A and B are shown apart, each in its own frame.
Chain A
Amino acid sequence: DAKTTQPPSMDCAEGRAANLPCNHSTISGNEYVYWYRQIHSQGPQYIIHGLKNNETNEMASLIITEDRKSSTLILPHATLRDTAVYYCIVRGANQAGTALIFGKGTTLSVSS
């Protein structure tokens, strides 16, 4: 799986959009970009994933650059409950038996 780089921490005001960047310059053509988060003392939670097109669901939007070397997770209206560690993961198909590699992630702190 390709390596990812994320800033260690970010702050966001409640109600504002949180934009979390991720660099994955060595991504290969069949690898997807996944985002998970882990709220303190809870299990990791899937947020969204994409291959090359932008994606949106009820939790977030994912913007992937045309060259696929970076992406941005957008939480459109951050709340205090969005305070968590966010992980960007690049992962190919047929990975049964291999662990999801979470890396260090970005700690997002949302404040009122």
Chain B
Amino acid sequence: NAGVTQTPKFQVLKTGQSMTLQCAQDMNHEYMSWYRQDPGMGLRLIHYSVGAGITDQGEVPNGYNVSRSTTEDFPLRLLSAAPSQTSVYFCASVEHHGQKETQYFGPGTRLLVL
């Protein structure tokens, strides 16, 4: 049981380049989400998905796309990277038990956009 995995661990991009951050979970959770973490800003929700084929925007979705073709995978795409997207990106998989919620985070992808 690997939990939540993310690739790559580190990435350097030039402005305007595109890339996909991969996230996978093996816990069969329906709900997955993407956050970014910047110094002094806490975690901000980018996009989330409540199940395969269903995605929705969080609080900072601009510049990012997501898709959810399977329960396991939830990739995040940067269409045209900008320096403002330099950040640490965390994927989370969420377990719901009645009204209780537990979020399991991946190890993160550190992205630098030059």
Name A's B-contacting residues (CB within 8 A). 30, 32, 34, 36, 41-46, 49, 91-103
Contact = CB atoms under 8 A, between A and B. Distances in A.
A96 B107 contact: no
Interface of B: 4, 31, 35, 42-45, 48, 50, 56, 58-59, 90, 92, 98-108
A45 B101 contact: no
Nearest to A104: B42
Interface of chain B: mostly helix, strand, loop or mixed: strand
A97 B105 CA distance: 16
B46 to A, nearest CB: 9
| SS class, residues of chain A in contact with chain B | loop
6 contacts: A32-B100, A46-B104, A49-B102, A91-B101, A99-B44, A100-B92
A89 B35 CA distance: 17
